[in-house]
Structure 1
Amino acid sequence: MLTLVVTTRDRVRTLNDQLRQQQTGGTIVTTPGVRALGAAAVAATLRAIAAFDDFGAYNDPFDEHEFGSVVIEGQTVWFKVEAYDLDLRWHSPDPADPAVTHRIMTLMLPREY
């Protein structure tokens, strides 16, 4: 009999990927610099982020798929997923539990960090 063990990290990664790839399970916000690129570039950025799979130790040391970088029309755009409590005041008490977590993915230009 095969036993499947799903770790907290696996669950967090799955929930982060859900927001990143399907744009569900949280909120996506953009910085002024990203918005200034225009609606078509923002849409292209969201598509590129959904397809992004270049996660490694240099940008994803906890293997949670919470940060990455894409290039759209020659412009680098970073994305960062963070897990907050439902009041959006503090970090989530359990990022693996959507019942107590609200995810926010921020799209920003590196100079806006």
Structure 2
Amino acid sequence: MWNESCGEELQEFRRPEKIIIGVLLAMITAVTVMGNTLVVIAVCVVKKLRQPSNYLLVSLAVADLSVAIVVMPFVIVTDLTGGKWLFGEVFCNIFIAMDVMCCTASIMTLCVISVDR
């Protein structure tokens, strides 16, 4: 079932292209999750890093982590299926809300960090 608001017309890839693109995008997502998780763990574990300016970096890491977990996997699947939304209309609305919220949180945190610096 394709939903106009979540999907878009994209070029259909052949199977080898889908595999390469899927693996690359999955690797980018995995590196994003691992890197941001390490930032959060480092600031929480190392006492020297527990400073107010680093809390902003943790906030950015959590916002980016939420993008990597909640948004990126569904975008990857949609891109690999030629822009077809496979997850239903209700989840489409939830996905759009999560996409906007997570990306806005990341952007706003970057703005706060730039003001702080």
TM norm. shorter chain > 0.5: no
TM-score by length of 1: 0.28
Identify the structure with bigger relative contact order (alpha carbons < 8 Å, sequence gap 6+): 2
- Flag the structure with larger Rg: 2
TM-score by length of 2: 0.27
Q: Return the structure number with greater helix share.
A: 2
